[in-house]
A and B are shown apart, each in its own frame.
Chain A
Amino acid sequence: MMGQLYADALGGASAELEYVDGTRVALDAARWFDLIDGDEALLERCASPTLDIGSGPGRLTVELTRRGVRALGIDITPSAVALTRRAGGFALLRDVFDEVPGGGRWTTALLADGNIGIGGHPEALLRRVRQLVRPDGTVLAELAPPDAKSRVDRVRLRRGPRVGDWFGWATVSAGDIRRLAHAAGFRRVERWTAHGRWFAALSRRVSST
């Protein structure tokens, strides 16, 4: 889906994200390599074992491993998986909707950096991720600020005249996460913000663990 242009961007090439109305924004791939402000607010809540969904080059997977939290990254781009392994993390080339090892046994599942947008249908994605975590497990999701509008975009990657395929990508506002999480079968939703980033912890159990 992301294809070669995404792999090139991970290798340092410039790339843009193009919207269906023609708007283009630079793809900030460098952001996915080194820890950034707000990451700590996610990392400190991860417990072994943690599944990092859409792990990219493995910034969070690698840091968790370094801290002694058992973590596995999954991504659909081979070069992203290779980068994670090279940096000392465990990663598999896997689509979250396909068979994922340890299904139903993960303590934490991470949807960082807007990865709640994967597939362009966040309710379907959250239902799927709910199946992957333990009954008392937690899904940690990064969200758009509450004043942002939840939406599904059709986007593609572009580098000059080269374009990838169109794919769906969702944006979920922090203001809509409670409704969405309940529709996806989660009972408990906790929201917080750190360094201008918005997050939510979703769990099936009402009682805090």
Chain B
Amino acid sequence: MSPHCPAQILIIAKEPVAGRVKTRLTPPFSPRQAAALAEAALRDSLRAVSATPATQRLLALDGLPGGWLPAGFVIIPQRGTSLDERLAAAFSDAHRLRPDPVVLIGMDTPQVTPALLGEAVDALERHDAVYGPAADGGFWLLGLRRPDPALLLGVPMSHPETGKLQLDRLDRAGLTVHLLPELTDVDTAADAAIVAAHAPDSHFAATFRALGR
């Protein structure tokens, strides 16, 4: 394990199929448009991960890969039903394939940069956990030096207090936590406008503009 890239990076994502992703963007967008935005956000997230030094890059995927997948990712399926179960399983499975610390992000923050991801990876050299709060009260990134399902299971994931409850859980386990800057994750059309404005050079912003927004 190189001291300069001590962690692996895991993206948890859904295959961008119309009607199955970003349903909270419809309306104002059509299911096909919402899927195009989801695919763009996924491409941006994958690109940022590709550009960040890591011991392994994984995609915990619900569905099948498509032309949007760059080379160099190990795909694992999602397990479980609720999001806390799926996150816990993704951490465990990644860690079983390769026993390095794991940094996890979703596909809803296309503005994420290699610098932010690199900070998260590096933070796990000195901290037990790294945490990126999302503007909606949840989180956009969670990194764990020693993944353990008990750190996630039972945390209500789509709740205004999700972030606080997750941080409390890490705290009660006695973990030291490095905090990252807050990002907006794309849930509603209003979020999409904010994120597109913050990352004008992203696939996401280009797709958003192409849809006339």
Contacts and interface: CB of A to CB of B under 8 A. Distances in A.
Given A179-B17, A180-B64, A153 B96 contact: no
B61 interface: yes
B23 to A, nearest CB: 18
A166 B97 contact: yes
A152 B67 contact: no
Interface string A164-203: 0010101010001001100100000000000000000000
Contact of A152 (B17, B75, B79): B75
A85 interface: no
B64 A21 contact: no
A154 interface: yes
B165 interface: no
A169 to B, nearest CB: 10
Interface in A43-89: none
A21 B77 CA distance: 10
Contacts of A168: 74-75
A151 B86 CA distance: 14
Contact of A122 (B17, B61, B64, B67): B64
B64 A20 contact: no
A121 interface: yes
Contact of A154 (B66, B75, B89): B75
A150 interface: yes
Interface of B is mostly: mixed
Contacts of B93: 20-21, 154
B69 A154 contact: no
Instruction: Give chain A's interface residue range (CB within 8 Å of chain B).
Output: 20 to 34
Given A20-B97, A21-B93, A150 B63 contact: yes
A153 B93 CA distance: 11
A181 B69 CA distance: 17
Contacts of B75: 120-121, 152, 154, 168
Given A21-B79, A120-B75, A151 B63 contact: yes
A176 B76 contact: no
A121 B74 CA distance: 11
Contacts of A154: 74-76, 93, 97
B179 to A, nearest CB: 30
Instruction: Give chain B's interface residue range (CB within 8 Å of chain A).
Output: 10 to 19
B96 A123 contact: no
A153 B69 contact: no
A109 to B, nearest CB: 20
B96 A150 contact: no
Nearest to B59: A152
Interface in B56-104: 61, 63-67, 69, 74-77, 79, 89, 92-93, 96-97
Contacts of B67: 123, 183
B64 A123 contact: yes
Contacts of A22: 96
Interface string B36-68: 000000000000000000000000010111110
Contact of B69 (A21, A121, A176): A121
Interface string A121-133: 1111000000000
Contacts of B77: 151-153
A131 B206 CA distance: 32
27 contacts: A20-B76, A20-B96, A20-B97, A121-B65, A121-B69, A122-B64, A123-B66, A123-B67, A124-B65, A150-B63, A150-B64, A151-B61, A151-B64, A151-B77, A152-B65, A152-B75, A153-B76, A153-B77, A154-B74, A154-B76, A154-B93, A154-B97, A168-B74, A170-B64, A172-B64, A180-B64, A183-B66
Interface of B: 17, 61, 63-67, 69, 74-77, 79, 89, 92-93, 96-97
Given A152-B65, A176-B64, 9 more contacts: A20-B96, A21-B92, A121-B65, A123-B66, A124-B65, A151-B77, A153-B77, A154-B75, A154-B97
